[in-house]
Amino acid sequence: MQTVSTAPHSIEALCALVLSYDPNASEEKIKEAYAFAKEAHGSQKRASGEPYITHPLATSFTLAEMKLPSPIIIAGLLHDVPEDTDRTLDEIEERFGSDIAAMVAGITKLGKIKYRGMERYIENLRKMFLSMAADVRVVFIKFADRLHNLETLEAVPPKKQYRIALESLEIFAPIANRLGMGEIKGRLEDASFKYIYPKEFEWVKELSKSSREGKQDYLERVMRLTKEILHEAELNNVQVHGRAKHLYSLYRKLVRHDRNIARVYDLIAIRVIVDSVADCYGALGIIHNKWTPLKGRIKDYIAQPKPNGYRSLHTTVFCEDGEIVEFQIRTKDMHAIDEYGIAAHWAYDEDGKISTNPTPKNYQPEWVHELADIHRELADKRTYLKSLEDLKIDIFKDRIFVFTPKGDVIDLPEESTCVDFAYAIHTDIGNTCTAAKVNEENRSLDHVLKNEDMVEIFVDKGRKGPNPGWLKFAKTRQARSKIKQYAKSRISSWISGIIPGTGK
């Protein structure tokens, strides 16, 4: 087997990184956890031939890059100990406390994904979702663990490479996206992309590289000009930097645009990070005063955040020499949430103090609880397997964000229709809907919605229930299950009406 070097980090570098954002962290406790894990794993090797301890150390580095508190870092160092060594959870609890032991237990319950048929695969997914509902910190560790495994996949057989990468692309990355963890999602996708579509990966990598070549000087000139005009307008503490698009994200956008990279305006975006929301809008005005914006390319995700918590102003402008450049304008807090989503709620600020609005340990997005409930309901394997595709549509498909007339945001999977929108608002609205207006135009209930559509649903309160024919175009699990439920009740009523004694 080929040996793969992953340039292992050191425990000293990990401690320095944690202390850079959390000066009150216990360096001694982090080193104690490292020593405990190193001794427990002993002479174990990874498939690459490296000492096993390089894996939990790399896992914890990713967690530290997310500026997570030291207990999560320590749990990352210990995450494989109970499953892969003779050391127990009880020993971990005695040495490091119940909270760290609980996180390690959560990872241990998830277990390692073993490809022994679809049922085992589904069971692992079910465990992951239930773990998320119990304590989402466990999933942060699982993401970091999976990311390092992906980055060292060269050392495992090709079939296993493909299976791990495919699961990461279809399951792990979409969950990261739903948790608002944009940077982790991008890294998971890019690391998987290489093994799932190797030819496309090489094509996009070369295309991205060639498209950026010669533009670095231009980009730096625009960033310098941006700093100057913002400084002249007395906007202080402004950070301006470039962001290259992740390769898999670029690939998907190229596919949508007939593989024409000239139609991809955010290949390189400029991020402007300011102190306050007022400064965001101020910076937008200053940039528009300097350069002409493209019509229809201004997105206000501050006034209308995405359901996963993403907030930012986006604008695309005709910049110097007529080049088209995208700007993303946000505060420091918004930037942290864009990078690390729900994990940012555990992050520390630059003064080493925990975030002023830390998310409670037991807080999860509503969809996590809904998904966990669904998985409990579908504990029966046969029913579970039949429902897997519905779940993948609801949870893992690309999302669109559609507005009610009052400005509320409804989060739906791509290709959802007006009927799906109606059921997302309320079951009664779905059951009695008759027509819709989309962006002030009359539309039928099977009309496919697009991102940022404004939808108004019309109902007939005298209507008894949905039309079973809606199943031909309803996409979401919620809509389909309610329509099927009503259809079954009608059949039962019909049978009880003609066959005496069958009614209740």
Where do the CATH 1.10.3210.10 domains begin and end in the chain? Answer: 11-196
CATH hierarchy code of domain 205-346:
3.30.460.10
pLDDT band at 406 (very low <50, low <70, confident <90, very high): confident
- Ranking 77-91, 112-126, 134-148, 428-442 by mean pLDDT, the lowest is 112-126
CATH of 11-196, picked from 3.40.50.2300, 1.10.10.1100, 1.10.3210.10, 3.30.1490.20, is 1.10.3210.10
Superfamily (CATH) of domain 398-498:
Beta-grasp domain (3.10.20.30)
Token pair recorded at residue 26? 């216990």
Where do the CATH 3.30.460.10 domains begin and end in the chain? Answer: 205-346
pLDDT digits (tens, 9 = 90+) for 156-209: 888 889 888 988 887 788 888 877 788 899 999 999 999 999 999 999 888 888
Token pair recorded at residue 371? 């998904």
> Letter for the amino acid at 263?
R
How far apart are the C-alpha atoms of 93 and 100, rounded to whole Å?
Answer: 7
How far apart are the C-alpha atoms of 436 and 445, rounded to whole Å?
Answer: 6
Helix %, strand %, coil % of the chain (to 5): 55, 10, 30
pLDDT at 147 over 90: yes
pLDDT digits (tens, 9 = 90+) for 440-484: 899 999 999 987 788 999 999 888 889 888 989 998 888 988 888
Token pair recorded at residue 325? 């450049």
Token pair recorded at residue 418? 């007006």
Tell the residue number behind the tokens 């320095």, with chain if given: 16
Where do the CATH 3.10.20.30 domains begin and end in the chain? Answer: 398-498
pLDDT digits (tens, 9 = 90+) for 365-383: 555 555 556 555 555 545 5
Q: Which residues participate in catalysis according to the annotation? A: 83-84
Asked if residues 30 and 22 have their Cβ atoms less than 8 Å apart, the reply is no
Q: Indicate yes or no: pTM above 0.85.
A: no
Between strands 313-318 and 324-331, the pairing is antiparallel
How far apart are the C-alpha atoms of 41 and 35, rounded to whole Å?
Answer: 10
